[in-house]
Amino acid sequence: MKTLILTNEFPPNIYGGAGVHVDYLTRELSKVMNVEVRCFGSSGRDVLVDLPALKATSFGVEPGGYAAPKKLHSIFAALQRCLDWNSAGIDADVVHLHTWYTHLGGILAKLNYGIPLVLTVHSLEPLRPWKREQLGQGFDFTCWVERTALELADAVIAVSEDTRADIQRLFHLPEEKVHVIHNGIDLNEFRVTESTGSLARLGVDPSKPYVLFVGRITRQKGIVHLAKAIAHMDKGFQVVLCAGAPDTPEIAAEMAQSVADAQAVHGSVVWVREMVGKADLIELYSHASVFCCPSVYEPFGIINLEAMACETAVVASAVGGIKEVVVHGETGLLVPLELREGTFEPVLASKFAEDLASGVNSLMADPELRRRMALAGRKRAEDFFSWEAIASKTHRLYSDLVEKCRAGNH
């Protein structure tokens, strides 16, 4: 059996949780089946990986000649790749999609090549209204292609129970079509490291405790709310914001102003603007006293799992799949977040910022509680979120779909 994985992100070009998911899932699946990855690239077709059962090829486009509005370029570039993926020929038994960028490619593969379509929901377009700021009118297209792919898919994977509930509420798919398979963690890779060599290079003082944020500068990740919370944090520790890849120039400017304001008040704010490599990231997690995740929308929140695997207590907003990863009072603290109806804006943004700060301050002041939470977080990661188990569930799902297809029930 062979699967074709269609994805925007793949090593070395990973900037979000969906890319991390695809990276580890494909490696694990390749131990039990043939896996082909077709992904985005910037310089034409280029074999990225050639392991015995895992092959990956990047597909490039040249959007420089587009006369369309700038906000639509990413959409048309994605659609061109979706066509190229199909015209290159497909010999897989099943096609598996990750993020809206790939959805048209999967639709074409199912209809033209007659193979089952699997779609993993890492997020849902109707729940990301801020994307209109990035895509303009193109946001209407991404919502349409997502809905079409979900309705056409033979199986939909939700990365959390909360995400499954959102899918059923927004799209009314048959219950038997939607399966919950969580994200995972490589427990051998994400573990405590004693190394501190990267901290000084990144501007972090290894001799002083710090609270850490890691993520893209986007409305979804709530980074601006965290920046505003810094004014309410105690002064005895550093605040390290590992935040890059802003969605738009507008949020980039807003972030810069919020960090400048926080630095003026707190004095120990370190902003790492680069998307750091994995070794640096593990080092940052390992030596942080607290990891903070202020997301306003998070279907799973793999960054919390990474921090827990590196034995760091977590303070996170109580939204989406985060509630299935972080156990309040055991592996960290969950901060309530009430959103305005139909939006992802907090009802009381100032209170959310203050509550985030209060959670961070309470853990920073209690080393023994942090240590207990750190150990409990590592154990929870080991007990429930290994990639081996996740790949096994995915492989079983593929097998069932391929068997039904071959029996004429597709």
Q: Express as a percent the part of the chain with pLDDT over 90.
A: 81
Task: Write the pLDDT tens digit of every residue in 259-301.
Answer: 999 999 998 999 999 888 899 999 999 999 999 999 999 999 8
Q: Where is pLDDT greater, at 211 or 45?
A: 211
Least confident of 42-46, 320-324, 360-364, 379-383: 42-46
Buried/exposed 201-224: b ≥16 CB within 10 Å, e otherwise: eeebeeeeebbbbbbbbbbbbbbb
Q: What pLDDT, on the 0 to 100 scale, is given for residue 409?
A: 64
Q: What pLDDT, on the 0 to 100 scale, is given for residue 398?
A: 98
Give how far Cα 344 sits from Cα of 149, 168, 339, Å.
25, 19, 6
Q: What pLDDT, on the 0 to 100 scale, is given for residue 219?
A: 87
Q: Express as a percent the part of the chain with pLDDT over 70.
A: 98
Cβ contact 302:280 at 8 Å:
no
Mean pLDDT, all residues of the chain: 93
User: How sure is the predictor about 247, in pLDDT bands with cuts at 50, 70 and 90?
Assistant: confident
Q: What pLDDT, on the 0 to 100 scale, is given for residue 4?
A: 98
Q: What pLDDT, on the 0 to 100 scale, is given for residue 47?
A: 67
If you average pLDDT over residues 154-169, what whole number do you get?
95
Answer whether residue 198 shows pLDDT above 60.
Answer: yes
Domains of the chain: 2-184+386-406 (3.40.50.2000), 197-384 (3.40.50.2000)
Task: Write the pLDDT tens digit of every residue in 218-246.
Answer: 888 999 999 999 999 999 999 999 998 88
d(CA 321, CA 303): 12
Answer whether residue 181 shows pLDDT above 70.
Answer: yes
If you average pLDDT over residues 386-410, what whole number do you get?
90
Q: What pLDDT, on the 0 to 100 scale, is given for residue 166?
A: 94
Answer whether residue 157 shows pLDDT above 60.
Answer: yes
Cβ contact 130:344 at 8 Å:
yes
Contacts of 70 (CB under 8 A, 6+ apart): none
Q: What pLDDT, on the 0 to 100 scale, is given for residue 48?
A: 67
Task: Write the pLDDT tens digit of every residue in 115-128.
Answer: 999 999 999 999 98
d(CA 287, CA 312): 8
d(CA 91, CA 85): 12
- Global pTM? 0.83
If you average pLDDT over residues 12-18, what whole number do you get?
85
User: How sure is the predictor about 44, in pLDDT bands with cuts at 50, 70 and 90?
Assistant: low
Q: Where is pLDDT greater, at 405 or 326?
A: 326
Q: What pLDDT, on the 0 to 100 scale, is given for residue 65?
A: 83
Write out the two tokens for 15: 């900037």
Q: What pLDDT, on the 0 to 100 scale, is given for residue 290?
A: 98
If you average pLDDT over residues 30-45, what whole number do you get?
87
3-state SS, the chain, equals CEEEEEECCECCECCCHHHHHHHHHHHHHCCCCEEEEEEECCCCCEEEEEECCEEEEEECCCHHHCCCCHHHHHHHHHHHHHHHHHHCCCCCCEEEEECHHHHHHHHHHHHHHCCCEEEEECCCHHHCCCHHHHHCCHHHHHHHHHHHHHHHCCEEEECCHHHHHHHHHHHCCCHHHEEECCCCECCCCCCCCCCCHHHHHCCCCCCCCEEEEEEECCHHHCHHHHHHHHHHCCCCCEEEEEEECCCCHHHHHHHHHHHHHHHHHHCCEEEECCCCCHHHHHHHHHHCCEEEECCCCCCCCHHHHHHHHCCCEEEEECCCCHHHHCCECCCEEEECCCECCCCCCECCHHHHHHHHHHHHHHHHCCHHHHHHHHHHHHHHHHHHCEHHHHHHHHHHHHHHHHHHHHCCCC
Give how far Cα 322 sits from Cα of 116, 296, 297, 299, Å.
30, 11, 9, 7
User: How sure is the predictor about 42, in pLDDT bands with cuts at 50, 70 and 90?
Assistant: confident
User: How sure is the predictor about 359, in pLDDT bands with cuts at 50, 70 and 90?
Assistant: very high
Q: At what angle do helices 103-113 and 73-87 cross, to 10 degrees?
A: 30
